Amino acid sequence: MINITDKALCNGCNTCTVACPIDECITMHQDQEGFLFPQVNMDTCVDCDKCEKVCPYIPEFEMRKKEPQRYDKPLVYASYSKNHEVRVDSTSGGIFSELAFKMFDQNGYVGGAVYNEDYSVSHILTNDRNKLDEIRSSKYIFSLTDQLFPEVKKQLKAGEKVLVCGAPCQISGLYTFLKKDYENLITCDFICKSVNSIKVFQKYIEWLENKYKSKAKKIKAKDKTTGWHKFSMRVDFENGKSYVADRYHDPFFVGYLQTELFTMEACYSCQFRGFPRPADITLADFWGIENVDKSMDQDLGTSLIMINSDKGKEYYESLGDAIVSKEFTLKEAEPGNSAIYYDTKKLINREERKAFYEDLDKYPFDEIAKKYFPMPTLENKIKKKLKMLKSVFGLIKQIGVSPISWWQIFYYNFLSSKVGEKGQLKFIVFRNSKIQLNNKAQVLLKNKLIIGKKQVKSSNIETRMLIEERGKLEINGKFYIYAGSYIRVIENGHLVLNGGFINEGVEITCATKIIIGEGCTISRDVVIRDYDGHNIESPGYQIAKPITIGNHVWIGNRAMILKGVTIGNGAIIAAGSIVTKDVPAGSIVAGIPAKVIKKDVKWKV
């Protein structure tokens, strides 16, 4: 049965609730942060496992890996509607509206997100053309799909044509619920940065209603009053007044884009980015189009279209003269749309997040905004610069005046296109560190990475880091890589370091995904590999499997952690052990292969 113990592994797609054959056995409940998660009534559950079989987060049941067929590399277009009113009223270039018009013309149904009376968001399915104004445009908060999925299935089985637009995780959930693709179904997803808390958004609207002394009647999250590039939040009120503020001055946008305090946890490590995409067609803003083709940018909104299937290609081409469309390469679209591949770049600061939501229950939204995400002021900018200067002087004391090290520090903190969160001194490189970031490699610095630190400063021991094509290194907590270590992220691998250190001579090889939790202590000459390197011809054999190492884990000298292993929080791996199976939390394992020798152990540095 579904049991959510880690909120990072649930996006609230509702698939489990609608798949359950027992009425109200699985229901969605809002947590303190304003996100909805499933809860199972154990008194009525019959252990049929239907909820698990449709969950897009459970790999063995994940239908999207089997079907429908999607392109490994999409066809890419810049596009916009020729209908000026539709284009201006849309989030991007109005292409979703044109896709919807085409479906309505065929007497089909269109599914999308609409605001409810309480400013929450739900997905609906409709054949009423007049509903399109409500569906059109982005809603940046969590949406309910419990009514959508069964209705889509009903209409598809009746032979009706259906177009559905949702987040990639929702579209993936739809397919696992349907259990197959339908010829009469067209799906659209979008390049999604993250979704936000219903509770925070409702508090924000409540503040505006109090300020304007009137109930909100229309919300436009990407109003183009000040232009598409400088999109604004617009709220119209029943008393005739309007609130308009661009993304740099609207507190909701500032909090969402700059702090991500109210982003859903699953969005920090989204499993639905990259390719192949879940949907037939992917929609987005074509950010950066002015650098690719100025003729496609009039600051009115230009859509990025990614065609992911033959069915999607045929449907998009059927729009014909209703749109302006021009083909580009994926490489041309990538610079302004990092969310195609990469997760939100902030670290979950649980203490700050907890305090934020506690304050949200006590104070008006404007007071919350001033405390947690104040508008940029000259005073704040000066303080930030002084803090950086102080950091520089501190580094000089540690590193000395090595020209190569200082060039690397400058390059990776301020120049490299492969490093996220640039402009701050987060990538610290000591002497004799060799770093190679191959094509489309990415380093996401949500906290500091210190590489090549030496215990004996005059030592010439070399530290190496290689991130291969589309490999990703994610630093979520301050992390030290001591001298003599070798970090290798193989093509498409994802290494997540949540805070702690690896001592001298450690080797980490990541081909799928390796997660090392907060506060881990990894001793000298440890080897961590999720990849065998050579294939064995044997039924069921897998050359690589992910490794998860929990928080506060101590790994002893010369231990080896091999593919497919999960190590629980607070565990201790004895020196020289070879770990081939999961390690329970709070236990000590030792030997070759490692076995549990003691349980319920607590340790401290």
What is the phi/psi pair of residue 289, to 5°?
-60, -30
Q: Which residues have a Cβ under 8 Å from the Cβ of 254 and sit 6 or more positions away?
A: 247, 248, 369, 373, 375
User: What is the C-alpha separation between 169 and 53, in angstroms, rounded?
Assistant: 15
Strands 560-561 and 494-497: unpaired
Per-residue buried b or exposed e for 492-504, using 16+ beta carbons within 10 Å of the residue's own CB: bbbbbbbbbbbbb
With vertex at residue 235, the alpha carbon angle to CA 231 and CA 239, rounded to the nearest 5 degrees, is 150
Cα separations (Å) of 91 from 232, 283, 419? 10, 10, 28
- Checking 176-181 for CB contacts under 8 A at 24+ apart, the result is 176/15, 176/53, 176/54, 176/55, 176/56, 176/61, 176/62, 176/63, 176/64, 177/15, 177/18, 177/19, 177/54, 177/149, 177/153, 178/149, 178/152, 178/153, 179/54, 179/63, 180/67, 181/67, 181/68
Q: How far are the Cα atoms of 199, 358, 422 from residue 361, in angstroms, in the given order? A: 10, 6, 34
* Rounded-to-integer distance, Cα 225 and Cα 538, Å: 62
Could you write out the DSSP letters of every residue in 24-53? TSEEEEE-TTS-EEEEE-TTT-----HHHH
Task: Work out the number of other CB atoms within 10 angstroms of the CB of residue 486.
Answer: 17
Backbone angles phi, psi at 463, to 5 degrees: -115, 135
Write the DSSP symbol of residue 542.
-
Active-site residue (options: 84, 123, 534, 552): 534
CA 42 vs. chain centroid, Å, equals 32
Amino acid identity for residue 292 in this structure: V
Coil, strand or helix at 458? coil
Q: Is 494 a catalytic residue?
A: no
Query: Residue length, the chain?
Result: 605
The gap between the terminal CA atoms of the chain, to the nearest Å, is 38
Contacts of 260 (CB under 8 A, 6+ apart): 194, 344, 346
User: Distance between CA 67 and CA 313 in Å, rounded?
Assistant: 17
Q: What angle do CA 76, 77, 78 make, to 5 degrees?
A: 140
Q: Is the peptide bond before 376 cis (omega within 30 degrees of 0)?
A: no
Are 224 and 58 in contact by the 8 Å Cβ rule? The answer is: no
Residues noted as catalytic: 534
